[in-house]
Chain A
Amino acid sequence: MSADTDLISRAAGGDASAFQALVERHRTMVYRVAYQFAGNHHDAEDIAQEVFIKVYRSLDRFRQDAQLTSWIYRIVMNACIDHQRRHRLGTNVAAGDEAEYRMLNAPEETPGPEARTYAGELGEVLQLEIGRLPKGQRIVFVMRHYQGMKLGEIAAALGLAEGTVKRQLHAAVHRLREALAEARVTVGGRA
């Protein structure tokens, strides 16, 4: 029995410390995906909360022979999509608020203008473009690029055909290449 399986079994039986250990083992991965998807701490935290609440509620339905990470990835993906849908339905924050919120929440992670490098500026542009990708492309790109997951693993986690994942990745990369080309003109022109 793996450590995860043991923790799930104990958590499903009512052991709160086991559920806490489960959250602590996977929260970094969940938060990273959520942040890459949402682009800000506030939404990333909301998504990560939703994920672990769903995990908690579904503990007794988890199949012992399944991969926990794949199961969690699927929950993360659904939570990201649900969150985006709700966001679109009217709880959208004004752009200024969002910028302020991001600045407020991540001061230590936002380099000052003097520290910005050319690559850093391109990275910022690309990060914004990732946020504009269709959700399917975005999830696949995040899982492949940031999480280092193989196409087969992504397909298994998302319940998609490998060919679909390949096409989504290709489409995402294509858009990022276009954004890069445009950014090089803009940023390069200023540099």
Chain B
Amino acid sequence: MTCQRQRSGDLELYFYDELSPATRAELDDHVVACADCRTALSELHAIRTALASRPDVSAPPAGDWSQFMSRLDSAIAPQRSESPRVVSFVAPPRRRYAEYLAMAALLALVTFSVAVAFRARHVPSAPGAASAVHHSVPATTKDNAAFAAMTEKHFERSKLVVLGLATKDPEGGSPVDWAYERELATSLLDDTRLYRLAAEDRGLDSLAGVMKDLELVLLQTSLTDDKDPATLPQIQRLIKRRDLIEKMDVVTTGL
């Protein structure tokens, strides 16, 4: 039968030194007389010792916060773009800031251009054609079907990169191959972000969610070091964890 002082939870407070002096003195006396509580206290000390032997993890691997901060910066970028006074805290090149301003201006203008854009069925055809996407993303809520067609094209281009990453042999391949994947990922990143924003504007939550996952994979890819053998398997696991390839297939057919 367990001692009542234990069942009350007082013993943990005694162990963590959270009792008032009077109650603590009372427990001091009790513990001297109660073998059950002495055993429990010794177990609590053993737990503390055992857990103290574990690493105190309070930072990403190797204490490197740079990717964490970059990812955070990327995640809050949409909100930041709504507030022109806020600038990126990872000090991006001026060109990137200018691109955001240009994107904001283009998004404001696409309402006007959407009819023309879709009549022409203009879709970007080359991985590096980011500016074409900027011109062709509509901002109205009336053309979701056309928007879906455009995002499907974007997914087709992106899937080449994602599939390439997913199927790449981490043990094989040359640094040049890996650099190529990173370059493609970088070229698709801004477009993906733009599509995500447009999907969010339209209330297309599923699509926006997949775009967000894609954005994360592309961002990770673009930020990684091709000399680090651990980075590719990490990205491959990320793709797998997010079911990205399957989602990219499903989300467009469901629109």
Chain A contacts to B: CB under 8 angstroms? 13-17, 19-20, 23, 27-29, 31-32, 35-36, 41-42, 44-45, 48-49, 52-53, 56-57, 91, 93, 97, 101, 104-109, 117, 119-120, 122-127, 144-145, 150-151, 166-167, 169-170, 173, 176-177, 180-181
Contacts and interface: CB of A to CB of B under 8 A. Distances in A.
Given A28-B58, A119-B53, A166-B13, A45 B68 contact: yes
Contacts of A44: 57
Contact of B68 (A48, A126, A150): A48
Given A45-B68, A122-B53, 7 more contacts: A14-B86, A20-B69, A27-B65, A32-B58, A123-B52, A123-B53, A170-B9
Interface of B: 9, 12-13, 16, 18, 40, 43-44, 46-62, 65, 68-69, 71-72, 75-76, 79-80, 83, 85-89, 230, 233-234, 237, 240-243
Contacts of B241: 91, 93
Given A122-B50, A123-B51, A57 B61 contact: no
16 contacts: A13-B85, A16-B86, A19-B89, A27-B59, A28-B58, A42-B237, A48-B68, A93-B237, A101-B234, A101-B237, A126-B47, A145-B48, A151-B18, A166-B12, A173-B44, A177-B47
Contacts of A181: 43
B75 A53 contact: yes
B42 to A, nearest CB: 10
Contacts of A23: 69, 72
A17 to B, nearest CB: 6
A168 to B, nearest CB: 9
B250 to A, nearest CB: 13
A53 B243 CA distance: 23
B61 A31 contact: no
B71 A49 contact: yes
A48 B86 CA distance: 22
Contact of B50 (A32, A91, A104, A126): A126
A56 B82 CA distance: 13
A77 to B, nearest CB: 17
B76 A14 contact: no
A130 to B, nearest CB: 8
A26 B13 CA distance: 27
Contacts of B240: 97
Nearest to B87: A16
Given A14-B86, A20-B89, A31 B12 contact: no
Given A16-B87, A32-B57, A177 B72 contact: no
Nearest to A27: B65
A14 B83 CA distance: 7
B62 A108 contact: yes
Nearest to A144: B16
Contacts of A27: 59, 65, 68
Contacts of B83: 14
A101 B233 CA distance: 9
A125 B43 CA distance: 14
A31 B57 contact: yes
Given A28-B59, A119-B49, A97 B88 contact: no
Contact of B61 (A19, A20, A106): A106
Contacts of B55: 106, 109
A25 B28 CA distance: 39
Nearest to B242: A91
B204 to A, nearest CB: 20
B60 A45 contact: yes
B9 A14 contact: no
Contacts of A20: 69, 89
A177 B234 contact: no
A27 B59 CA distance: 8
A17 B89 CA distance: 6
